[in-house]
């Protein structure tokens, strides 16, 4: 029941996230790996069964874990629960409950109700955990708008990459899946994220570490803006060498304006 177990889970489930986290300062990894592992376990819950009631129960398990953390009860015998309890405070546990609730959308085949609901889903499942980690590592409310804009970019890029799989499972991922609409959304998000990146100056490397993943997703959004069919056809991606060079750059520089 350690951070190492969380790191191993992240490495197995999301190698890109693992590499990004390993590029963060050691003190940041101790916070990030439990939160990442938690998010991966929650994200997996709706997909390991076709029975909606069982999927709901799996999500409820994690809501109960968060409630027990807030109530200062002994962590459950789960490899993620104890490390998570060691890093979260009451506000963080309460915030992450929203991330669990949002994953109910993944259980069913209903499309997002509207654009606002789609944005809320991305915010809850990606931006909120990023916010929680950043706050625990030293960011404050003065950075909230910048975090939101950069975080939404990371969320959207990862969601774009998942669209072929979502469609294969009978989901309707986008409110407007026309190529021109996808390109417009990607372009607008890139512009807002650039502002967000420019307004995170002054944060320590540890406090910026939760945003490294979002920064790594920016080339995918730029690709989507130029070639929106790459989203539908599952062609989004960047080569290993380019990704490694980008990670080296964003993990070392304090000014992300150039990225």
Domains in the chain: boundaries: 1-108, 122-259
DSSP letter string over 43-64?
HHGGGS-S-HHHHHHHHHHHHH
Assigned token pair, 46:
């709706």
Do the beta carbons of residue 181 and residue 250 sit within 8 Å? no
pLDDT digit string (tens) for 19-35?
999 999 999 999 999 99
Do the beta carbons of residue 182 and residue 222 sit within 8 Å? no
Pairwise CA distance, residues 195 & 153, whole Å = 11
* Residue 202 DSSP one-character state: T
Q: What is the pLDDT of residue 82?
A: 96
More confident residue, 153 or 251: 153
Pairwise CA distance, residues 169 & 3, whole Å = 33
pTM, rounded to two decimals = 0.95
pLDDT digit string (tens) for 95-140?
999 999 999 999 999 999 999 999 999 999 999 999 999 999 999 9
Pairwise CA distance, residues 144 & 135, whole Å = 10
Determine how many CB atoms are found less than 10 A away from the CB of residue 135. 21
CA within 13 Å, CB half, 177: 16
| Residues 251-255: contacts with CB under 8 Å, at least 24 apart | 251/20, 251/23, 251/24, 251/205, 251/212, 254/201, 254/203, 254/205, 254/208, 255/198, 255/201
């Amino acid at each position: 029941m350690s951070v190492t177990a969380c790191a191993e889970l992240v490495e197995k489930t999301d190698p890109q996230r693992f590499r990004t986290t390993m590029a963060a300062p050691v003190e940041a990894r101790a916070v990030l790996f439990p939160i990442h592992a938690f998010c991966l376990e929650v994200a997996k819950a709706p997909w390991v069964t076709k029975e909606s009631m069982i999927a709901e129960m799996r999500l409820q398990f994690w809501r109960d874990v968060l409630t027990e953390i807030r109530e200062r009860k002994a962590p459950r015998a789960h490899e993620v629960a104890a490390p998570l309890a060691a890093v979260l405070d009451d506000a963080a546990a309460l915030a992450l409950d929203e991330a669990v609730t949002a994953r109910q959308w993944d259980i069913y085949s209903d499309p997002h109700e509207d654009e606002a609901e789609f944005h809320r889903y991305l915010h809850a499942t990606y931006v909120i955990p990023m916010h929680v980690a950043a706050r625990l590592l030293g960011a404050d409310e003065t950075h909230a708008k910048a975090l939101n804009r950069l975080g939404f970019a990371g969320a959207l890029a990862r969601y774009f990459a998942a669209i072929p799989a979502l469609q294969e499972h009978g989901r309707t991922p986008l409110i407007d899946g026309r190529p021109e609409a996808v390109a417009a959304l990607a372009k607008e998000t890139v512009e807002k994220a650039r502002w967000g990146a420019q307004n995170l100056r002054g944060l320590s490397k540890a406090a910026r570490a939760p945003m490294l993943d979002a920064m790594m997703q920016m080339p995918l959004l730029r690709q989507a803006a130029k070639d929106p069919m790459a989203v539908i056809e599952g062609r989004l991606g960047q080569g290993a060498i380019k990704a490694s060079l980008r990670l080296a750059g964003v993990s070392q520089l304090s000014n992300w304006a150039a990225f």
